[in-house]
Amino acid sequence: MNWINNVVRPKIRGFLTTKRDVPDNLWVKCPETGQMVFYKDLEANQFVFPGSEHHERMTAPQRLTHIFGEAEPTIIPCPSVPTDPLKFRDARRYTDRIKDAKAKTELDDAVVIAEGPLDGVNVVVAVQDFRFMAGSLGMAAGEAVIAGMLHAVTRKAPFILFAASGGARMQEGIISLMQMPRTTIAVQRLRDAGLPYIVVLTDPTTGGVTASYAMLGDIQIAEPGALICFAGPRVIQQTIREQLPDGFQRAEYLLAHGMIDMVVHRHKLRETLVRMTRVLMRSQATKPNTSAKAQRGMNGKAYRNGSAIDNAPENAEKTALIAEPVPDQERFDPARRNRDGAGDASGGGSVTEAAPKKPQPRV
């Protein structure tokens, strides 16, 4: 660096130069474009890469800040469960793996439950953290989801789930599989109580989680580009040995195939949730939240050092995908594929045309 580094012995060097704490994640590389982004910029932009609009995975605490902003949510303690029901061990003990994951993430397990106000409406939120053993669904995570849903029932609050999971936790074997019906029971309790259950599918949501509570929401939202599937692309490729279609199992693909209600840009996510919970809970808007802070989605953090923030609202405007109707030609229709295409296309058109001609009922 300078001449002194070359001359002075390493041990003495410590006294001369002041040590600077450089976090290892100061710069983050966009997986799509390879562009380097300053971490603080990325954080201020809700972990959406400016330019490529790639939605980076969020940790549970980050997600809670994203949703609740300055309003501190109450973390609902999750019931403690017997760990390691199978006394499982592969190369290492399962209990050791859990210990590591706990140390790394500072979480108890892959699911965090919180309760807080979402623009006046009290909601219970469950967030799955992909860092904790790939957000896998084991006994602890299952119990947390159940506890969260039952808590929502007692509080008569809507339940919002942010799903992110690699699927069932293999190390818990059949017990992890049993979380599928178990969590479904809790979903039914929400339904019986007449409470909205909104699922936000984030990257990635796969396997047993998708095949149970994460697909049973009243409203299914996905973040742009999120991988959402039952069997992973690799498994399918191995089975069929063919090239998979472009964008296969991505959020937009699911939207086109009628599996989800909408793909929402992260900048628009909060307001979408607010709007929907208000309508579903039939609660009037307290006041339109048009403050600059809310619009920017700054999570209350006034970091104004990067260009990303200033562009954020505009970007969101341009890229947000909200319940765009899918044209008939783009929909998957095996009948059209098999039979002659013209007949079906006109058939679809004629339905809409015929509608107004319907004879009016006599009064």
Q: Applying CB under 8 A, does 30 fall inside the site for other proteins?
A: no
Q: What are phi and psi of 154, to 5 degrees?
A: -65, -35
Q: Applying CB under 8 A, does 45 fall inside the site for other proteins?
A: no
Q: Which helix (H) or strand (E) segment is 220 a member of?
A: strand 219-222
Closer CB to other proteins, 34 or 82, in the complex: 82
The sign of the torsion formed by the CA atoms of 92, 96, 97, 100 equals negative
The binder of other proteins chosen from 30, 180, 281, 326 (CB under 8 A): 180
Q: Applying CB under 8 A, does 181 fall inside the site for other proteins?
A: yes
The binder of other proteins chosen from 51, 85, 117, 120 (CB under 8 A): 85
Q: Applying CB under 8 A, does 297 fall inside the site for other proteins?
A: no
Q: Applying CB under 8 A, does 329 fall inside the site for other proteins?
A: no
Does residue 204 have a cis peptide bond before it, meaning omega lies within 30 degrees of 0? yes
Distance (Å, rounded) from C-alpha 319 to C-alpha 163?
Answer: 22
Residue 225-264 contact track with other proteins, rule CB under 8 A, x = bound: ---xxxx---xx--xx-x-xx--xx-------xxx-----
Q: Applying CB under 8 A, does 165 fall inside the site for other proteins?
A: no
Alpha-carbon distances of 248 from 32, 216, 239, 357, rounded to whole Å: 16, 21, 15, 39
Three-state DSSP at 199 gives strand
Q: Could you tell me where the beta strands, DSSP code E, fall in 276-350?
A: none
Q: Applying CB under 8 A, does 178 fall inside the site for other proteins?
A: yes
Q: Applying CB under 8 A, does 177 fall inside the site for other proteins?
A: yes
Distance (Å, rounded) from C-alpha 290 to C-alpha 13?
Answer: 53
Tell me, rounded to whole angstroms, the distance of Cα 249 from its chain centroid. 15
> Applying CB under 8 A, which residues contact other proteins?
81-82, 85-86, 88-91, 139, 142, 146, 168, 170-178, 180-182, 184-185, 187-188, 207-208, 210-216, 228-231, 235-236, 239-240, 242, 244-245, 248-249, 257-259, 332, 334
